[in-house]
Amino acid sequence: MKIELDGLTALVTGSTQGIGYAIARGLAAAGARVIVNGRSTETTGAARARLLDDLAGDADFAALDDDAREARVVALAADLATEAGARTALFQHPDVDVLVNNLGIFGSADALAIDDDEWRRYFETNVLSAVRLTRAYLPGMMRRGWGRVQYIASDSAIVTPVEMIHYGVSKTALLGVSRGFAKAAAGSGVTVNSVIAGPTHTGGVEDFVRELVGDDLPWDEAQHEFILKHRPQSLIQRLIEPDEIANMVVYLSSRYASATTGGALRVDGGYVDAILP
């Protein structure tokens, strides 16, 4: 299967590093024009330069002229957890064909110590940011008769972790948001799905693992200890690599996924001990 996304524009929120960056790279490698997003011009500019460098070894990309290569990746500096940031995105990029709502925050906290402001911060960032952008871009996709909207959820949406229930509940909400907007787009040619990512190897997760198992162990041992003690249901018994999440997103962004909508597709390493979703 050769996935080709030539001619499509994709916005990946929170894509200067980690899973978001891997998704942006995967979409760009498949031919899409990709908008990388972060809160500052410095981080987005650096991510854009890194992504163009990563693409340089691809034969199809190298065959493009200089202007076409430069146009393949665009930087969007905006805090998309805010209404102002969403307005900036829509002003600079009025139409996108693929919207990947990846932006999110996470961290461990005592369940009884999470105050109202922290709950609001998690919902603004992890849920309302995605709702706002979907509200902004879905109508245009429906008018054009084609589009893809995706939400990067988590195994924590189904298996709520006691050490970060505010994060888990926000990801549970995304599953409902995804299903609801899929119904709103019914019959339009636009698909809406969520991707349930399992424990994934990113810089932020490395910090999280260290919080739970300490700084003394070498990384490979620390990762093993984390999986053994805190994610023992994992069937692959390791952290997932970001590119493995990106592969699912690229597929869902393609014409091959035209009959997949309203779904919650798992890339969780078998962590969730259930047949569905």
Could you give the residue numbers annotated as active site?
A: 167
On whether the CB atoms of residues 161 and 227 are closer than 8 A, the answer is no
Please report how the helices 165-184 and 129-144 are oriented relative to each other, as an axis angle in degrees rounded to 10. 20
The token duo for 143 is 């008018």
Burial class of residue 39 in the structure, from the number of CB atoms within 10 Å of its CB (0-12 exposed, 13-18 middle, 19+ buried): middle
Strands of the chain (E only): list them: 9-12, 33-38, 73-77, 98-101, 147-154, 190-197, 264-267
Give CA angle at 82 (148, 178), nearest 5°. Answer: 30
Q: How far is it, in rounded angstroms, from Cα 121 to Cα 209?
A: 22
Does residue 242 have a cis bond before it (omega within 30 degrees)? Answer: no
Burial of 218 (0-12, 13-18, 19+ CB in 10 A): exposed
- Is residue 110 within 8 A of residue 211, CB to CB? The reply is no
Q: Which pair of tokens denotes residue 172?
A: 């549970």
Tokens standing for residue 85? 């940031």
The gap from C-alpha 230 to its chain's centroid, in whole angstroms, comes to: 23
